[in-house]
Amino acid sequence: MDRITAAFRADASIPMIATRDIGARAADELMMLNFTGHASRELLGPRDYMFSDVAAILGKAVGRPNLSYMQAPYAMVEQTMIQMGMSQSTARLLNEMARGFNDGVIKAQEPRSAGNTTRTELEQFAQEVFAPAFQGKAAGA
């Protein structure tokens, strides 16, 4: 249908981050061992992305330049996730997360800096990871 549908507002701006960047930073921290006890680090992707931008970027990567984004009601999104095989509790929690971003409750606690900003742009992720998965190919194959 050339559309991504989810519960997030199209203009919700989120500092999306690649999981490989999280893993790399965690490995660096463990190698340096410059912390004691428990420590947490806030990490942000290279920039914030609105879901309308995400649809355009992913669409371009898979040869669907007209891919658009549409926000759907929470109840509809939850039912769709359940119909796709997700547990009701997981679907409910994902909707709760979307609501938190939409309402501005979930947001970065620290300003973006060189120390908390990671490298992988969504465009790179779309080409290297998303497009191969979308086309049914293993990444790097």
Backbone angles phi, psi at 41, to 5 degrees: -130, 130
> Token pair for residue 135?
């086309």
What is the mean predicted confidence (pLDDT) over 49-60?
96
**pLDDT tens sequence across 56-99:** 999 999 999 999 999 999 999 999 999 999 999 999 999 999 99
What backbone torsions phi and psi does residue 138 show, to the nearest 5 degrees? Answer: -70, 140
Mean local confidence (pLDDT), 105-111: 92
The CATH fold of domain 3-105+125-134 = UDP-galactose 4-epimerase; domain 1 (3.90.25)
Specify the pairing of strand 13-14 against strand 49-50: antiparallel
Task: Tally Cβ neighbours within 10 Å of residue 95.
Answer: 19
Q: Domains of the chain: which residue ranges?
A: 3-105+125-134
- State the average pLDDT for the chain: 93
For residue 35, pLDDT beyond 90: no
Q: What is the pTM of this model?
A: 0.85
Quote the percentage of the chain above a pLDDT of 70.
Answer: 97
| Beta-bridge partners for 69 | 4
- In one-letter notation, the amino acid at residue 110 is E
